[in-house]
């Protein structure tokens, strides 16, 4: 993968887009497609499901579907959005992975023809009219969560996701009572961790559990979580992760292996453009204020996430010391970047926030009645 970000070559086009309207999310579809190809070339799996929650912009979805990916949705609302955004897309290519969704929502999703994941063993008995007679995947909690922040760890007793392995015998009995066929097992440990050897660990765990409890299992979904480099860090070695997974799956040659990446496919393809509203020197601290903040990009406030930030109007200007890059929201946490080297900056300059293509607009709000950034694709 190239170390030079795509947006450097598109600087003039981006400045023109910002002149037309700011703030703005901009997605490069060529980068989306390339990440899909990188992944498929490096990781030998039977099915790649894009996690729609990362970015559900219609042109992004269409690009990934064109590259042969299927889609993973976590709500019936995402499913309905996908079916509208990607005309003719077969519901059978959608994996529905709800968490604490209500009975009516699950029934509504299943009626659309998607394949669903069971996340709570007790619902097989309680919602027999919903699950009865269906083929399902079961989400298993592997016991240990991993991720770049506690909020993105999705396993362990402190996590609300998945069925504990100790509860699987009872789930198997409930499935038998209601004619439910468990045809797949799923484990997702978290997001943005540095060691994708967890895919191989999940494959071994799920394969063993399938043999112990579910003889009809035909696929193992080992999750996502591929890290995205920031700050000039080298890209993650997908080939090594793929080789480890391939070695693990050799023990279960009759089972298909799925993965469900999200952020890896779209983060680097997106930038957030914003215009400088004010610059304030307060004691020793320089604040660069933008026309948007956590209402458009929540990740820094929610996760402490790092995004590279540049003054696109003065891209090659020398640094003038550190700056706090902040938004207009009435919260002390409305800080997009802290103590970043930054050039001399003035009102009206266009600032670019990098790797903003994932969990950006989809998590945006109208807090303070400020509209979030709009979206456009190149």
Cβ–Cβ under 8 Å, residues 52 and 65: no
Domain with residue 336: its CATH number is: 2.40.37.10
- Among candidate residues 59, 28, 62, the one with its CA nearest the CA of residue 71: 62
Q: Is 73 a catalytic residue?
A: no
pTM: 0.91
224 and 305 fall within a common domain: no
141 and 283 fall within a common domain: no
Poorest-pLDDT segment among 64-73, 141-150, 300-309: 141-150
Domain with residue 125: its CATH number is: 3.20.20.10
Q: Which two tokens stand for residue 49?
A: 């499901």
Q: With respect to residue 15, please indicate whether it lies within any of the assigned structural domains.
A: no
Residue ranges making up the domain that contains 235 = 30-266
Q: What is residue 142's predicted lDDT score, i.e. its pLDDT?
A: 85
239 and 302 fall within a common domain: no
Q: What is residue 191's predicted lDDT score, i.e. its pLDDT?
A: 60
At 103, give phi and psi (nearest 5°): -55, -45
Number of H-type helices and E-type strands within the chain = 12, 16
304 and 215 fall within a common domain: no
* Residue pLDDT, tens place only, 208-221: 999 999 999 999 99
257 and 300 fall within a common domain: no
225 and 295 fall within a common domain: no
pLDDT above 80: residue 349: yes
Cβ–Cβ under 8 Å, residues 174 and 219: no
pLDDT above 70: residue 151: no
Q: With respect to residue 224, please indicate whether it lies within any of the assigned structural domains.
A: yes
Residue 330 gets which letter from DSSP? Answer: S
Q: With respect to residue 4, please indicate whether it lies within any of the assigned structural domains.
A: no
Cα angle for residues 255, 182, 64 (degrees, 5° grid) = 60
Spot the catalytic one: 41, 92, 330, 339. 330
- Among candidate residues 198, 211, 203, the one with its CA nearest the CA of residue 256: 203
Residues 174, 179, 183, 184, CA torsion sign? negative
353 and 342 fall within a common domain: yes
Of 238, 266, 294, which residue is a domain's last? 266
User: What integer best gives the mean pLDDT of the chain?
Assistant: 91
Task: Give one DSSP letter per residue of 52-119, joined into a string.
Answer: GGG---HHHHHHHHHTT-EEEESSHHHHHHHHHHSTT--GGGEEE--SS--HHHHHHHHHTT-EEEE-
Q: With respect to residue 25, please indicate whether it lies within any of the assigned structural domains.
A: no
Of 266, 284, 313, which residue is a domain's last? 266
Q: With respect to residue 19, please indicate whether it lies within any of the assigned structural domains.
A: no
Residue 307 gets which letter from DSSP? Answer: -
76 and 135 fall within a common domain: yes
Q: How many domains does one find in the chain?
A: 2
Neighbours of 107 (CB within 10 A): 15
Q: For 68-81, what is the mean pLDDT?
A: 98
Q: What is residue 373's predicted lDDT score, i.e. its pLDDT?
A: 96
Of 231, 266, 301, which residue is a domain's last? 266
Q: What is residue 238's predicted lDDT score, i.e. its pLDDT?
A: 86
Distance CA 268, CA 354 (A): 7
317 and 347 fall within a common domain: yes
Residues 355, 356, 362, 367, CA torsion sign? positive
274 and 367 fall within a common domain: yes
pLDDT above 80: residue 335: yes
Structural Rg of the chain based on CA atoms = 22
Q: Which residues pair with 24 in a beta bridge?
A: 273, 374
Cβ–Cβ under 8 Å, residues 271 and 14: yes
Q: With respect to residue 18, please indicate whether it lies within any of the assigned structural domains.
A: no
Q: Which two tokens stand for residue 1?
A: 């993968």
Cβ–Cβ under 8 Å, residues 257 and 45: yes
CB neighbour list of residue 313: distance below 8 Å, 6 or more residues apart: 15, 348, 349, 350
Q: With respect to residue 11, please indicate whether it lies within any of the assigned structural domains.
A: no
Give, to the nearest 10 degrees, the angle between helix 76-85 and helix 58-66: 70
42 and 137 fall within a common domain: yes
Neighbours of 197 (CB within 10 A): 14
46 and 103 fall within a common domain: yes
| Local confidence band at 295 (pLDDT 50, 70, 90 cut-offs) | very high
Q: With respect to residue 339, please indicate whether it lies within any of the assigned structural domains.
A: yes
Q: What per-residue string of b and e applies to 230-247 under the rule 16 or more CB within 10 Å gives b? A: eeeeeebebeebbebbee
| Local confidence band at 136 (pLDDT 50, 70, 90 cut-offs) | very high
Q: For 109-124, what is the mean pLDDT?
A: 95
């Amino acid at each position: 993968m190239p170390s030079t970000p795509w947006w450097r070559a598109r600087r003039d086009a981006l400045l023109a887009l910002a002149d037309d309207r700011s703030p703005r999310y901009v997605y490069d579809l060529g980068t989306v497609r390339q990440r899909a190809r990188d992944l498929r070339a490096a990781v030998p799996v039977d099915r790649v499901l894009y996690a729609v929650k990362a970015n559900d912009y219609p042109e992004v979805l269409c690009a990934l579907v064109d590259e042969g990916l299927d889609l993973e949705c976590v709500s019936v609302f995402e499913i309905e959005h996908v079916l509208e955004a990607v005309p003719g897309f077969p519901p059978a290519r959608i994996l529905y992975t709800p968490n604490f969704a209500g009975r009516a929502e699950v029934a509504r999703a299943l009626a659309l023809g998607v394949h669903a994941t069971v996340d709570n063993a007790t619902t097989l008995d309680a919602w027999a009219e919903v699950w009865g007679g269906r083929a399902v995947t079961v989400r298993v909690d592997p016991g240990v969560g991993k991720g770049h922040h506690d909020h993105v760890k999705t396993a362990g007793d402190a996590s609300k996701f998945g069925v504990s392995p100790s509860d699987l015998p009872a789930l198997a009995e409930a499935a038998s009572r209601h004619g439910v066929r468990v045809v797949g097992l799923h484990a997702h440990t978290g997001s943005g961790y540095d060691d994708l050897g967890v895919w191989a660990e999940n494959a071994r765990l799920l394969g063993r559990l399938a043999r112990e409890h579910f003889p009809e299992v035909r696929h193992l979904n080992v999750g996502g979580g591929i890290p995205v480099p920031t700050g000039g860090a080298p890209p993650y070695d997908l080939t090594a992760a793929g080789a480890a997974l391939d070695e693990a799956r050799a023990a279960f040659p009759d089972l298909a292996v799925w993965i469900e990446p999200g952020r890896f496919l779209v983060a680097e393809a997106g930038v957030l453009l914003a215009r400088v509203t004010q610059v304030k020197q307060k004691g020793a601290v320089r604040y660069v204020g933008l026309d948007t903040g956590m209402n458009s990009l929540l990740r820094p406030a929610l996760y402490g996430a790092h995004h590279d930030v540049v003054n696109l109007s003065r891209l090659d200007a020398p640094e003038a010391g550190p700056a706090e890059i902040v938004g207009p929201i009435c919260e002390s946490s409305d800080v997009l970047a802290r103590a970043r080297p930054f050039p001399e900056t003035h009102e009206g300059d266009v600032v670019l926030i990098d790797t903003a293509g994932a969990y950006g607009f989809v998590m945006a709000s109208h807090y303070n009645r400020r509209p979030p950034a709009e979206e456009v694709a190149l």
